[in-house]
Copies of this chain bind each other. A is one copy, B any other.
Amino acid sequence: MRILIDMNGLDDGYRPILEAAAYMRSEPEIQITLIGKPDAEKMSREASIPFIVAEEEISTQEKNPAFAIRQKKNSSIVKGLMALREGEFDVFLSGGSTGALLAGGMVIVGRLSGYPRAVLLAPMPTTSKTTYLLDVGANVDVTPDMLVSFAKCAIAYVQATTGKDRPTLRLLNNGIEEQKGSELTKQAYALLQASHLPFDGNIEARDIFTGVCDIVITDGFTGNAVLKTSEGVFRFIMQMLKGLKETSWRAKLGLYLLKRDLKRTLRDLDPSTFGAVPLLGLNKIVMKMHGNSSTEAVIASIQSALRVHKSDILDRMRKQEE
């Protein structure tokens, strides 16, 4: 796998990427190239990692990513996606602006035939396995048939990366009954029901975390709200737990004893350790990793990229459309 990694976009700067690239250098299946601003070139060369200079950067705070893609021709994202399109690399991996990767992916790399949009999935921790939620923010206004297309993307992804033949699929709704929901979900329900997809009906948001299915489909607005709510509640409870220290000596000692095991479990749940996920619906492999990825998370992301690269996901997605 020839992978091109964006040096921009991580909260911790260049370090996690340089360390991960150095660590993975000896892997025979992986050839890493980095792309970024001139100040990163020297560090990369010193570590004997090939480097492409991209003078500009599209900020993760960029408010109009589609515009930035047109303006910043020398950004790592635009140059990186162009090199991917030209076949110089198999995968482009970035922790940068999701909006810019999506806009650039659509404009520069192009869509897979039959897939109207690129879509972003998020792995959600559950009590039994990982459940993929999508879309989580790429497409806020969608039509029922786009939801079906999201379902096809996700099924191909889970099949290709886990080997599971028939991943289970549900539609996020405000009740489990068929007649429940908005106009959008009612129509999507009918389309999914009539399709050949392994559709198991509606799911309410509270049940996502029980691992009852592999894939939960929703529009990007709701998916984004679900993802961010789960982050918010998680932080809230952790803060509440910490606050118990002040309530009694028993609680303080209890927390002290619990700390080590709790930390280990929380690390397993942290989305930044899950590795990168692909933007599905594009005709090349563009992987997005979390902005606060650590060195371990970048390594996990490169491994995810290898798994996706070695899978037959793009073929599967083309076949889903036949």
Using a CB–CB cutoff of 8 Å, the interface residues on chain A facing chain B are: 63-64, 125-127, 137, 140-141, 172, 174, 177, 179, 181-183, 185, 204-210, 218, 220-222, 224-237, 239-241, 243-244, 247-248, 250-251, 253-262, 264-265, 269
A281: shortest Cβ distance to chain B, in Å? 19
| Bound-state Cα–Cα, A262 to B251, Å | 8
Instruction: Provide the residues of chain B in CB contact with A251, threshold 8 Å.
Output: 257-258, 260-262
| Bound-state Cα–Cα, A206 to B226, Å | 9
Main secondary structure on A side of the interface with B: helix
Partner of A229, one of B125, B137, B182, B208: B208
A205-B229, A248-B260, A254-B258 known; 12 new pairs, CB 8 Å cut-off, are A140-B182, A205-B226, A206-B232, A206-B235, A207-B232, A221-B222, A229-B230, A237-B237, A244-B258, A248-B261, A251-B261, A254-B255
| Bound-state Cα–Cα, A296 to B207, Å | 28
> With A255-B258, A258-B255 as given contacts, are A206 and B181 in contact (CB-CB < 8 Å)?
no
| Bound-state Cα–Cα, A144 to B236, Å | 30
Instruction: Provide the residues of chain B in CB contact with A141, threshold 8 Å.
Output: 182-183
Instruction: Provide the residues of chain B in CB contact with A208, threshold 8 Å.
Output: 229, 232
